[in-house]
Structure 1
Amino acid sequence: MTSSDNEDGNKRNAPRMRTFKGAQLVAPGLFSTFDCIVRNMSETGALVEVPSTVGIPGVIILRLNDRTLERNCRVAWRTEQRMGLRFVSE
């Protein structure tokens, strides 16, 4: 295990908590939104699941449906239906 690995062997700065929350990814300029499910979240980022990652830009706003969280994000990685988001300051 390297110094940047956590106890699970993942290279994350903060442990993630499992969740299952409805959310939206809002494109810059608020012209496009994409429904998603937040599968896990930490202080530094989140894993979201979408029907397709095609067309979702690399810079996005994550907004929980219950409006308890809205964060600016950068896409750290993506597959066909999942994306790892890194929270960034404005």
Structure 2
Amino acid sequence: MQVAPVLSLDQRNFYALFHNHHDGLTRMIEKRAAQRHRVFKGGTITFENRGIACTVRNMSDGGAAVDLDTSATLPQSVTLSITRDNFVRNCRMVWRSDKRIGLAFVQ
């Protein structure tokens, strides 16, 4: 007998948003408007005159997923900077899972 893993509320919400259950099969539903690219770059999330180190894990024209180096409470609007690429974008947080956050670039 196979035991289903216990999922946190964030994990259940993730699966509910991105998976479609049909006939016992699970299929991924892609909801991104732009293709994402895997990266591994050091960055900084800034807000309210504070900066938090992060690692950018993937990016697209519309946003990025980043891992925070420490747990922190963030406001809805932040700035993502990648110094080596001379990259600075205003962002809004669209999801969070422990130390990983999804950011949408604000036009």
TM-score by length of 2: 0.69
Q: Percent identity?
A: 38
Q: Deviations over 1:26-77 (max 9, x none)?
A: 104xx10110000000000000001344322110000003142100000000
TM-align CA RMSD = 1.4
Q: Which runs of 5+ in 1 are unaligned?
A: 1-7
TM-score by length of 1: 0.81
Residue aligning to 1:25: 45
What is the CA–CA distance in structure 1 between the aligned matches of 2:63 and 2:33, rounded to whole Å?
9
> Does structure 1 conserve the Cα–Cα contact (< 8 Å) formed by 2:43 and 2:55?
yes
Q: How many residues align?
A: 80
More helix by share: 2
User: Offset of 1:13 from its aligned partner?
Assistant: 0.5
Moved over 4 A (4+): none
More strand by share: 2
Residue aligning to 2:73: 55
